[in-house]
Structure 1
């Protein structure tokens, strides 16, 4: 299959299975660089399998290219996959310091990016993984996964544990990444509240096939028809993309986070430390000794 350099994802007549019935059947999908594609469909439609194939986690000789390469045979450099399996790993439920995880994943190589992600995902480097909630653990995963700049991001339901404000801030950051770096995202989700203005494309899967792909800005008749219907009923575009209840809840949570920041950890001068300040202090104070403590502890 010849490669079109303008395409980040190029899938042609892809079939895939594990030796039994085919999970993916004659899948076709092409996405230009800079696209943000929502992948939707019922449970069992094949969304997770497709994302894993694109990430190089599943062996296939099919006609598939991610960033111009077969992700399994030619490598998946520049491709980041974020799935739900991470939270089930027993390692991330141990008495493991978030600061150490960040150091191990290269926070010092990308200080500005790390600092911004810590703020967006509201992750505290002082946390230890066995003491945090599932939602906080998920936020740590996303920070770690996004530390290294990526060209293709594959997200499989990883925002389901996030509160609406953190999710909103994350999606704004991801949109900025696609616009500023021409990076590409495929995002499988069942949560659509407040996301109306985010995607450039919507792909629908049914029984292992992608049966339609719509460009949000060019040729999405179903969306245009629904918007027209809501506008005639007195709604505005703002309430169509973001429900009034969602906007109220976001404001409440923004106030909660602001109040928490005012009571956060302070430096010797009495100023509230940023999350990057805390992380930098932890990395200087503990270094590899921090790692040895947690990995060798009985």
Structure 2
């Protein structure tokens, strides 16, 4: 198999666990991923839908020989202290190599509607997010991992960004994996769609639009709702997430899972309730 024929991402038997904040020593580690297996071709755009081992990218083992030109952009960046300092955007971009990518940088400045004279500590969250995207995308990346990073963008900038990413996959054979909860305007964007629930794929990355609905949507009502809603990604995501919640709530009722979300049956006041009621002078 030639280098160009290798999948962009190839993951086999990947399981990942971690401890949750505030967990006790006796608590079991949280299983974030369970035996994940999938492969993505170069030039694909995969939309990852889901409620709030060893992997390979570009033929390399990511744990031993991490490949170059892989970019991850997530929401936590804009909260970092360094991104909120009194620094001019032009200087900020140059500090991360903007001068090496002038043509692509300038193209992104126009797409993302960025003012080079902005000061990072004076701009809004949405404007700061645009700077992050320009910073991350101005190099010629091969794989782009996006995690809810478009949440602060206005609809026009978001649409122009998605068009840019689509062109990158077509013209440079780059690969995009996009996790989001905003599905408006996405129907023509992905080449593949995937659904993850409880650390597992209930649907591995599958070509979009979906073809084999009888197997992918076994519930007749879910299939009917999907078709009546114009076979949109929004309708599909709503169907999947609604079913995910139903399964989780049923597992909690049967004692298969500890209830951690929603209202709790509680007859004895909590410590915080007792404390704040003591100093409540509103009555």
When the two structures are superposed, what TM-score results if normalisation uses the length of structure 2? 0.70
Query: Which one of 34, 44, 47 corresponds to residue 38 of structure 1?
Result: 47
Q: Structure 1's 82 and 138: CA in aligned 2 closer, same or farther, altered over 3 A?
A: same
Task: State the Cα deviation string for residues 190-222 of structure 1 (Å, max 9, x = none).
Answer: 000011110001110000011103211463526
Q: Distance in 2 between matches of 1:98 and 1:163?
A: 20
Q: Distance in 2 between matches of 1:210 and 1:4?
A: 27
Structure 1 residue runs of 5 or longer lacking an equivalent are 44-61, 232-236, 243-298
Deviation at 1:112, TM superposition (A): 1.4
Task: State the Cα deviation string for residues 66-88 of structure 1 (Å, max 9, x = none).
Answer: 11112232123110000111111
Paired residues of 2:78 and 2:129 also in contact (CA < 8 A): yes
2:8 is paired with a residue whose SS is: strand
2:190 is paired with a residue whose SS is: coil
1:215 is aligned to 2:224:
no
Task: State the Cα deviation string for residues 9-32 of structure 1 (Å, max 9, x = none).
Answer: 111111111261321101112100
Quote the residue 1:229 is aligned against: 228
Q: Distance in 2 between matches of 1:101 and 1:123?
A: 13
Quote the residue 1:101 is aligned against: 92
Alignment RMSD, CA only?
Answer: 2.3
Query: Which one of 103, 118, 121 corresponds to residue 130 of structure 1?
Result: 121
Q: Structure 1's 220 and 117: CA in aligned 2 closer, same or farther, altered over 3 A?
A: farther
Which is richer in helix?
Answer: 1
Paired residues of 1:197 and 1:241 also in contact (CA < 8 A): no
Range 220-229 or range 120-129, more displaced: 220-229
Quote the residue 2:7 is aligned against: 7
Deviation at 1:104, TM superposition (A): 1.6
1:7 is paired with a residue whose SS is: coil
Q: Distance in 1 between matches of 2:4 and 2:140?
A: 22
Question: How many residue pairs end up in the alignment?
Answer: 215
When the two structures are superposed, what TM-score results if normalisation uses the length of structure 1? 0.67
Task: State the Cα deviation string for residues 261-280 of structure 1 (Å, max 9, x = none).
Answer: xxxxxxxxxxxxxxxxxxxx
Structure 2 residue runs of 5 or longer lacking an equivalent are 20-28, 218-222, 235-283
Task: State the Cα deviation string for residues 67-123 of structure 1 (Å, max 9, x = none).
Answer: 111223212311000011111111111101111111122222222111110011111
Deviation at 1:228, TM superposition (A): 4.9
Q: Distance in 1 between matches of 2:68 and 2:96?
A: 16
CA radius of gyration, larger in: 2
Task: State the Cα deviation string for residues 234-279 of structure 1 (Å, max 9, x = none).
Answer: xxx9xx689xxxxxxxxxxxxxxxxxxxxxxxxxxxxxxxxxxxxx
Deviation at 1:184, TM superposition (A): 0.4
